[in-house]
Amino acid sequence: MFTLSLTPRFYETDAFGHINNTVITGWFETAREPVFRLFNPSMEIKNLPLILARVEVDFVAQIYYGAEIEIKTWIEQIGNSSFIVAHEAWQNDHCVARGKAVQVYFDFSAQKSDRIPDQFRTQLQKYLISQ
Measured over all CA atoms, what is the biggest interatomic distance in the chain, rounded to whole angstroms? 48
- Residue extents of the structural domains in the chain: 2-126
CATH of the domain spanning 2-126, picked from 3.90.550.10, 3.40.50.720, 3.10.129.10, 3.40.50.410: 3.10.129.10
Q: CB 127: neighbour CB atoms within 10 A?
A: 19
pLDDT exceeds 70 at position 125: yes
Percent of the chain with pLDDT over 70: 99
Amino acid identity, position 16: F
Does residue 131 register a pLDDT over 70? no
Comparing CA positions, the residue from 97, 109, 122, 78 lying closest to residue 31 is 97
pLDDT at residue 16 greater than cutoff 90: no
Where is average pLDDT lowest: 13-22, 44-53, 62-71, 76-85?
13-22
Could you list the beta-strand ranges (E) of 36-93. 50-59, 69-78, 82-91
Residue 104 has pLDDT above 70, yes or no: yes
